[in-house]
């Protein structure tokens, strides 16, 4: 009987230790996810603020400043930070175009690891003429030394 009690005590101790490690890992992951979530939401809010002040260069700070940035709008692909900025300028700052007021909603941030995240959400523009283009987007974020940046954007207007 004492052998059985000893075996039971060892199994219980090992189980408790493993459970404790799993809980500690879950807490670390949760804390990391929470920090990433807040930082990514802050990037998106900064982008909306910049857009609403008609500052495309500041808006573009949320994107990875790289020729490898990818941006999809519907079925059109733009590759690179500078071409993406130029696309925004043509679409929203050229003659006959307006930027409107941008807002994001229904944001869902999902951590893919310590340095990457996937974001889904909705956007809405309120234009000076009363039109309200809106749609959905998916973003891939990567954490760089300078902070979280969008490395891939796929936006679809409704």
Strand 134-144 with 147-157, pairing: antiparallel
Query: What's the confidence (pLDDT) of residue 34?
Result: 66
pLDDT score of 6: 47
φ, ψ (nearest 5 deg) of residue 130? 95, -15
Backbone angles phi, psi at 65, to 5 degrees: -80, 80
Q: What Cα–Cα distance (Å) separates residue 72 from each residue in 35, 39, 136?
A: 27, 23, 12
Question: How many residues does the structure list for the chain?
Answer: 158
Q: How much is the pLDDT for 33? A: 57
* C-alpha dist (Å) from residue 43 to 37, 49, 119, 128: 10, 10, 12, 25
Q: How far apart are CA 40 and CA 110, in angstroms?
A: 10
In tens digits, the chain (158 residues) has pLDDT values of 555 554 544 444 444 445 444 443 443 344 345 699 999 999 999 999 999 999 999 999 999 999 999 999 988 999 999 999 999 999 998 888 889 999 999 999 999 999 999 999 999 999 999 999 999 999 999 999 999 999 999 999 98
Residue with tokens 């749609």: 135
pLDDT at 95: 84
| 49, 137, 143 from 44: Cα distances, Å | 9, 12, 14
Q: What is the pLDDT of residue 133?
A: 95
How much is the pLDDT for 3? 59
C-alpha to C-alpha distance for 93 and 56, rounded to whole angstroms? 9
Note the pLDDT of residue 11. 46
Sheet holding 147-157, edge to edge: 76-79, 70-73, 147-157, 134-144, 116-126, 101-113
Fold category of 2-157 in CATH: Nuclear Transport Factor 2; Chain: A, (3.10.450)
């Amino acid at each position: 009987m004492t052998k059985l009690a000893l075996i039971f005590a060892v199994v219980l101790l090992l189980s408790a230790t493993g459970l404790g490690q799993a809980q500690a890992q879950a807490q670390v992951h949760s804390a990391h996810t929470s920090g990433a979530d807040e930082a990514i939401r802050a990037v998106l809010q900064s982008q909306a603020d910049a857009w609403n002040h008609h500052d495309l260069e500041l808006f573009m700070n949320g994107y990875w400043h790289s020729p490898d940035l990818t941006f999809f709008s519907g079925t059109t692909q733009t590759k690179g930070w500078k071409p993406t900025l130029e696309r925004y300028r043509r679409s929203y700052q050229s003659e006959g175009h307006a930027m409107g007021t941008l807002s994001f909603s229904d944001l869902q941030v999902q951590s893919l690891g310590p340095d990457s995240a996937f974001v889904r959400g909705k956007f809405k523009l309120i234009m000076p003429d009363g039109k309200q283009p809106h749609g959905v987007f998916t973003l891939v974020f990567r954490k760089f030394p300078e902070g979280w940046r969008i490395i891939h954007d796929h936006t679809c207007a409704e």
